[in-house]
Amino acid sequence: MPDQESPDEPEAQESDAERRRRRARFLRELAEARELRARVQPRRAKAARLRHAMRMRTFRW
């Protein structure tokens, strides 16, 4: 239990690297899923693209 309360620095870095790897894998899978959905439902994907473009146009920088 004391190890969990005070983790060593290398372990903290490793968990951070692991978190980044998991996040990168998740984002790759998410992009793949979006591409698949766009191929399967082209009309809905086009409507989503148009909505996104409209949102970006009306966004104030």
d(CA 47, CA 10) in angstroms, rounded, equals: 47
Stated pTM of the model? 0.52
Above 80 in pLDDT, residue 11?
no
Q: What is the DSSP letter of 8?
A: -
Please give the average per-residue pLDDT across 37-58, as a whole number: 89
pLDDT in tens, 25-43: 999 999 999 899 888 888 8
High-pLDDT (> 90) share of the chain, %: 43
Above 50 in pLDDT, residue 1?
no
C-alpha pair distances (Å), 40 with each of 18, 26, 33, 54: 33, 21, 10, 23
Where exactly are the structural domains of the chain?
Answer: 2-58
Please give the average per-residue pLDDT across 35-56, as a whole number: 89
